[in-house]
Amino acid sequence: MRVKRGVTSHQRHQKIRHATKGMTRPNRSSVKRGRQAVVKGLQHAYRDRRNKKRTFRSLWNARINAAARINGTTYSKLIAALKGTHIDLNRKVLAELAVNEPAAFTAVVNSASADVSQVKAAEK
């Protein structure tokens, strides 16, 4: 018995056309070009989800450094002081404090630097 494959092909093509909605004309209308565009788009999406993390960490570091310099220290000294005093705040939280709660960020900087100076005095 002969098997007609029109329904399956149509469903496959519709899936590609649905995925290419919003793309330019050849990618939208041609199934072959559309399939290539969808695969490439998914590759870019996978790559850029990782790059987004990298970009945001860089932004957080810049914000922390700017706020730290306002408080009379640098980014590297602040991070070292936080690690030395076992204050576990990640960079995302520190950047959020620096932008939205400057008084709280100043308190964190002061407590970290005060604890470091006490540790250094005790070592001597």
Residue 68 CA from chain centroid, whole number: 22
**Dihedral sign (CA 107, 76, 69, 95):** negative
Q: So what's the pLDDT on residue 87?
A: 92
Domain count, the chain: 1
Q: Is residue 2 part of a domain?
A: no
Question: Is the Cβ–Cβ distance between 9 and 17 less than 8 Å?
Answer: no
Rounded Cα gap, residues 112 and 116, in angstroms: 6
User: Tell me: the pLDDT tens digits for 19-51?
Assistant: 999 999 999 999 999 999 999 999 999 999 999
Which range marks the domain in which residue 106 is found? 7-123
Q: Has residue 96 been placed in a domain?
A: yes
Cα dihedral sign, 117-119-120-121: positive
33 contact partners, CB below 8 Å, separation of at least 6: 26, 27
In a domain, 37, yes or no: yes
